[in-house]
């Protein structure tokens, strides 16, 4: 995908959001209500500005007057793989948090990432992935008294 295509695509997605906002603000009323502007007034103006801006962005991209270089690939070759190797495991960690809680999920995530992506020895892997979440557990749950998500089973696993 070239940067030009991405530029236009992002502008189109943004204008879809803009249209949804326009629709919702019209539902709330974008005009003058009882003694003051109605709830949809401010979002309506902002959405109209955003929509007009998106039109200009698409025009600039088409004419090649955009500030980004349109012919360049949006993701440089070989760039997508490292991005995904960071992003997908991170999403996996968040998903796992829903089940076993943040601390346990972080241990699994850290261990898996350092071992599989980093290729470190098990000793290094365990030295980082077990103590670090435990230190944060102690700091947040015991010192600052800020509870982290426990997921469905987290409370049963970490019980000290």
Bridge partners (DSSP) of residue 32 are: 37
Please report whether residue 100 would count as binding other proteins according to CB under 8 A.
no
Structural contact between residues 101 and 157, judged by C-beta atoms closer than 8 angstroms: yes
Minimum distance from residue 39 beta carbon to other proteins (Å): 4
Please report whether residue 2 would count as binding other proteins according to CB under 8 A.
no
DSSP string, 42-82: HHHHHHHHHHHHHHHHHHHHHHT-SSS-TTSBSS-TT-HHH
First to last CA, the chain: 51
Structural contact between residues 15 and 50, judged by C-beta atoms closer than 8 angstroms: yes
Minimum distance from residue 71 beta carbon to other proteins (Å): 14
Task: Please tell me the total number of residues recorded for the chain in this structure.
Answer: 160
Residues of this chain, 49-78, that bind other proteins according to CB under 8 A: 49-50, 53-54, 56-57, 60, 66-68, 74-76, 78
Residues of this chain, 19-38, that bind other proteins according to CB under 8 A: 20-21, 24-25, 28, 32-33, 35-38
Structural contact between residues 148 and 102, judged by C-beta atoms closer than 8 angstroms: yes
Please report whether residue 91 would count as binding other proteins according to CB under 8 A.
yes
Distance of alpha carbon 97 from alpha carbon 126, whole angstroms: 20
Choice from 1, 16, 87, 122 touching other proteins (CB under 8 A):
87
Structural contact between residues 70 and 11, judged by C-beta atoms closer than 8 angstroms: no
Q: How many residues bind other proteins (CB under 8 A)?
A: 74
Residue with tokens 């992506």: 117
Contact mark string toward other proteins, 110..149, x via CB under 8 A: x--xx--xxxx---x---x---xx--x---x---xxxxxx
Minimum distance from residue 160 beta carbon to other proteins (Å): 19
Minimum distance from residue 159 beta carbon to other proteins (Å): 20
Minimum distance from residue 33 beta carbon to other proteins (Å): 8
């Amino acid at each position: 995908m070239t940067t030009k295509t991405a530029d236009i695509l992002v502008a189109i997605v943004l204008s879809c959001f803009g249209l949804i906002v326009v629709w919702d603000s019209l539902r709330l009323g974008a005009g003058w209500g009882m003694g003051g502007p109605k709830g949809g007034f401010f979002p309506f103006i902002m959405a109209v500005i955003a929509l007009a801006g998106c039109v200009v962005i698409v025009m600039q991209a088409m004419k090649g007057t955009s500030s980004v270089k349109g012919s360049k690939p949006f993701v440089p070759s070989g760039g997508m793989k490292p991005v995904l190797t960071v992003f997908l495991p991170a999403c996996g960690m968040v998903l796992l948090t829903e089940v076993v809680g943040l601390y346990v999920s972080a241990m699994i995530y850290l261990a898996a990432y350092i071992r599989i992506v980093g290729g470190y020895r098990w000793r290094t892997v365990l030295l980082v992935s077990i103590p670090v979440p435990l230190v944060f557990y102690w700091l947040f749950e015991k010192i600052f008294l800020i509870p982290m998500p426990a997921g469905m089973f987290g409370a049963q696993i970490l019980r000290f």
